[in-house]
Structure 1
Amino acid sequence: MNGHGPAATRFVVVGIGADGWAGLSGRARSELTAASVVYGSVRQVALLPESIAAQAISWTSPMSEHLQTVLSGEATDGDVVHLLASGDPMFHGLGSTVVKAVGADRVTVLPAPSSASLAAARLGWDLAALEVVSLVTAEPTTLIPALTDGARVLVLSRDADTPTQVAELLRNTGFGWSMLSVLGELGGPDESAVSGVARSWTVPDCPALNVVAIDCIGPIRRAAPGLPDDQFDHDGQLTKQTNRAVSVAALAPGEGQLLWDVGAGAGSVGIEWLRQTRTARAIAFEADPQRADRIAANARSHGVADRLTIAGAVPAALEAMPDPDVIFLGGGLDAQVLELCLAALFDGGRLVANAVTLETEHLLVAAHAEHGGTLTRLSVATAAPLGAMTAWRPALPVVQWVMTR
């Protein structure tokens, strides 16, 4: 949307904390004093002093549509439009949205301390060593990847119910002994703090504006790919642990990338791929409705459902989806699907395909001869009882083709 609105229109995004006018810098005060129109939430607008001459306009619902109108220039007459944001506008805030919409050259951002900075200061925690998770628009399960024994996590809450939802999630994932601190109205005159253990959390009333701090006590969660098979609900259509670890490593997860997981089965490869990054996205293609439901449930249990889209059967569903950076072909592999997937890759795109049958193996051998890459045969055997003794139980060998366009 870069370039929307009159070329001369500029936007000044002013971060404001719960302490209102008193906490603003001199430059921020000067900007708002000189403003002709200021947009903000009802709470933010109420923090402005009566001496401000600007027309103060509260966002209407849905805010996204109102903001779109303002950024397009349809609702503004002046050359400069001022927008209020909570704390640091570039930290999970309005500033990033405005910059993305109109371009950084048309935006001035004047930050106040973020809620994370204020929380870390109150708790005496090293902000650089924390993970911050926003649940303002995301589901509570999004918190799962950040949980591991000894970690400290700050949660940006959606509302007063978020602390209770977080406590319930911690109990259900083995982190019931974790300490919770709910910090409300940070930086304002009504600032509050209450602490307790997740397993016995009973605090009924929390301020709507709050941050939840978690001092994690529970299992150690590993980030490396290759989770045990029993951590995925499946009907047998599952890339097994060792082959999955090799496949995810071959897919080389990267921030901001999009993965096509074609013939996803239980979704284990795509889910483990998503666990390696914070911003990557994946589309799981699965024809069977029951398996699609399992993929969704597995994604929720591993905290990546917000970054996973489930599409229908290939090849029809492929054409309606955005072009991928990376493709994994685990199920549903045939000549037509392979051709379509190769055609969808840009230069630098990566494809990893696994074959178990002779027919699909022949496809990959021919593709390797035509396009290059590497061809590997993976054979895995697991020790298992054989009567009173122990013997190796070999799994079906997997032929893996890895190719970069």
Structure 2
Amino acid sequence: MKKLLLFLFLLNIFISHLNANEKDLQIIQKDKKEYRLLEKESIQTRQQSQKYDWISPIDLSGNIGRNHSFSDENSRNINNKNTKSASIGFTQSIYESGGIGFKIDYADNRFKYEMLSWENQNSQLVYTIYNTLLDIKKLNLEIKQNEYRIVNKDIELIIKKIQYDAGRADVIELNNAIMSKNLIQKEEIVLKNSLKEKEQELAKYTDLKYEDIEVLDFKRAQKDIFLDKNYSILEADAKVEMLNSEYKIKKSQYLPKLSLSAKASYSTQDEKFNSMINDTNKDDASSSGSLILSMPLYDYTKSSKVQESKIEVLKQKSLVNDLKNETAFEYEQIFTKIDTYLKQNETINKNIKLYEELIGANQISSEAGMTSKYDLEILENTKTINEFDILINNINILQQYAKLYFKIKN
């Protein structure tokens, strides 16, 4: 009992010092954290690239050449030329019937979608860590609880042996007591191995030991907040905007487009008439500019391409509505489970009070020599087992709150 009271005290201190910093990548295993940060950098870089992708490059070119004639010597001397040229220019789209703005919107909307997806993945990664941590704490409680069950089974076996030796129990009853104890001992092996597996599972996601990780304060989220800030819904909504921008770009590709083209060039050449005449150099510099209006006159697949893009938007909108319905039901399911655990705790508390009354009465009769000390020990152990059930259920409740907590954007 003293050990249990000490454990309850420590657990109370543990819960009262909950870490307020949530979804912190610092607890994630080093390589995973580095990957997540690089993924974020990739998303940010991609946005900048796509946002200004409509701006055309400025092209610079240069050329050095020599023309050589295989005609007679006079013609050959006239036509032999060394040429050098260089040019710089660009062709820039300045109006695409809204297409430029749609491309910028697409880059921003895709960035928003990918960042929400990135945050959601981080949140679920951290949820895995905390949920595994709670599993470990629950298994530790179950192992301690099982120790009291084993003690009770030992006492039951001792009583059955005494009864068997006195002829008040048959071999079947004795065998059942032995088998019952064996089952509890096997359960102990399963629990301890499950604990090892969970510790190994935790090590895949964090370099910290479970003793060094503090449990977060998974406060209850109201239903409207859970739906409004739900990562999956926000992500799906952002995808609608991204696909809608893509659809607008697709439509604008078949509308008038105005481009500005500008070019400046310079060239020089040497002409050798013959060895008696000095070389004659010719230089030439020029520039040009133009406005180009273009529009696709016919594309056999235009209608199907635009319609396909529009359907993708409608499909995603439908998916969002379906997701909202599923999420609302999920919220109710989680609180149904929480309600189950709370009601179980109410029943267990009633049992504990009953055991306290029985223990009090049994202590008096035991001191008077009317009942065995084994009866009192069994009652005390069973009461402790029930107290562990409440602690285990409290962790079950915490795990349900964690499901809600890590699904919303704070």
One fold, TM greater than 0.5?
no
Please state which structure has a larger fraction of its residues in strand.
1
Higher helix share: 2
Tell me which structure has the larger Cα radius of gyration: 2
Q: Which has the higher contact order (CA 8 A, sep 6+)?
A: 2
TM-score range, shorter chain: under 0.3
Length-normalised TM-score, structure 2: 0.16
